[in-house]
A and B are shown apart, each in its own frame.
Chain A
Amino acid sequence: MSIFSKYEGLASALASVTAGGGRNPFDVVIEKPISSTVGLIEGRETLLFGTNNYLGLSQSPAAINAAVEAAKAYGVGTTGSRIANGTQGLHRQLEERLSAFFRRKHCMVFSTGYQANLGTISALAGKDDYLLLDADSHASIYDGSRLGHAQVIRFRHNDADDLHKRLRRLEGTPGAKLVVVEGIYSMMGDVVPMAEFAAVKRETGAWLLADEAHSVGVMGKHGRGVAEADGVEDDVDFVVGTFSKSLGTVGGYCVSNHDGLDLIRLCSRPYMFTASLPPEVIAATMAALTELENHPELRIRLMDNARRLHAGLQAAGLRTGPQASPVVSVILDDVAVAVAFWNRLLDLGVYVNLSLPPATPDQHPLLRTSVMATHTPAEIDKAVNVFATVAREMGLSHAA
């Protein structure tokens, strides 16, 4: 028996996606980015509506220069983990910059956002503790719960009453209760009702961790995320985030006012047993953070663009989530239709993400689109027109 035979179901699912000559949606190559909003795919200039580059900062000249200068000054790698030879002056500087940005006492920087969730969740919730996760949590949160030894309980998506009920069932049991929510959920772009979760946390004495991966740089007056936008930052004990979305680089972090965070450096395996970020990434991230702080208008443009895309797709008769947010997903019913729709969009020069169940909420296939502050209104209108054309071709436009 082959070691791969357990994946026969997966192989046939993939074969059915590519049957009829369709592309493998998990194997699209962006040959080269031309700008933050346009990339070369299959030799064609293609509008990018499926990145997490919300502010367009992956192409920021200031960040690029900072990376070049840092590589020249410090080299291109650290060859070591944060607790051995991998902490350089730049790592400390970046942690101090993030602490100042979030106005929190402590910051730990990880090599990816995925590891930031893995490393904080697995270390914070120990053997006798309880982890309470939103049912639609990102894979990195679920994986963090499996790396640790806490008891894991799911609550209904974005439902603070359901969380409350589950915390009530745990009343009187020893052990800390750590609740994990996200700021903006990555599949549907829906926003957490953070104030409601903060109230439950206060009432029950639980701890609250918010993964603001998609909301930092996007929400809040200063870009600190949904906790800032909702005025409940004091109730959020730990904010986890990533550099790979609004900041345009790679890496992750956790910030907190709890002094105990420094102890986590000595027991978080995804922090301890992997190489630290290279100097050029740190320098680019700090430069991108400066851009984010100095250009609040980027957030305003981003939300204007989000509303334009959301309204345009709805006017085209497509079903989307209720809220205009930088992630706007078109919800379809049938996987084969979603696959054909996605292929046709790419033929016509628009790249979006095809998201298939079980990775999507409610078993619906999604065409996940995301906007950037750097999209022009003309680019958004063009993408909406292409969506409308394909929907008509496929007989999908419901009367709006």
Chain B
Amino acid sequence: MSETVASVSALIVKTLLANPKVPRDINGSSKIVEDLAFDSLAVMNFVMEIEDTLDVSVPLDRLADIRTIDDLAACIVSLKQAS
């Protein structure tokens, strides 16, 4: 598979929009905690969903550096390339 940051980012946005509580106007530069009002547990649970879709595991310490949806997408792409 050849995921790009843009394609992974689009997939994350699509997954997030399936949750009716998430604001409708999110995009790749939306901040996960501030713009989505996710607490730490909600972030971990939503990342788990993405992990399943893309067959990748994102270690929790990597999440500490992630602010935006694009950051998460870039992290996932680099993890996939490394594996």
Q: Which residues of A contact B (CB under 8 A)?
A: 130, 135, 145, 151-154, 156, 166, 169-170, 357-358
Contacts and interface: CB of A to CB of B under 8 A. Distances in A.
A170 B48 contact: no
Contact of B60 (A145, A170, A357): A145
B83 interface: yes
B44 A135 contact: yes
Contacts of B65: none
B25 interface: no
B44 A151 contact: no
A152 B57 CA distance: 10
B41 A358 contact: yes
Contacts, number: 29
B22 interface: no
B48 A135 contact: yes
Interface of B: 39-42, 44-45, 48, 55-61, 83
Given A135-B48, A169-B83, A153 B41 contact: no
Given A358-B39, A358-B40, A358-B41, A154 B48 contact: yes
A153 B60 contact: yes
Contacts of B83: 169
B33 to A, nearest CB: 12
A203 to B, nearest CB: 18
B40 A154 contact: no
Task: Enumerate the 4 nearest inter-chain pairs by beta-carbon distance, A residue then B residue, closest first.
Answer: A151-B59, A152-B60, A358-B41, A153-B57
Q: How would you classify the secondary structure of chain A's contact residues: helix, strand, loop or mixed?
A: mixed
Contacts of B40: 358
Contact of B55 (A135, A156, A169, A170): A169
Given A135-B45, A169-B55, A169-B56, A152 B61 contact: yes
Nearest to B62: A151
A156 B59 contact: no
B41 A154 contact: no
- Which interface residue of B40, B41, B42, B58 has the most chain A CB atoms within 10 A? B41
A251 B45 CA distance: 32
- Which interface residue of B39, B41, B57 has the most chain A CB atoms within 10 A? B57
B56 A156 contact: no
B82 to A, nearest CB: 9
A357 B41 CA distance: 10
A151 B45 contact: no
A152 B41 CA distance: 15
Contacts of A358: 39-42
Contacts of A170: 57
Contacts of B61: 151-152
A153 B55 contact: no
Nearest to B44: A154
- Which interface residue of A135, A153, A154 has the most chain B CB atoms within 10 A? A154
Contacts of B41: 357-358
B59 A152 contact: yes
Contact of A166 (B44, B45, B57): B57
Nearest to B82: A173
A153 B44 CA distance: 10
A358 B39 CA distance: 8
Contacts of B45: 135
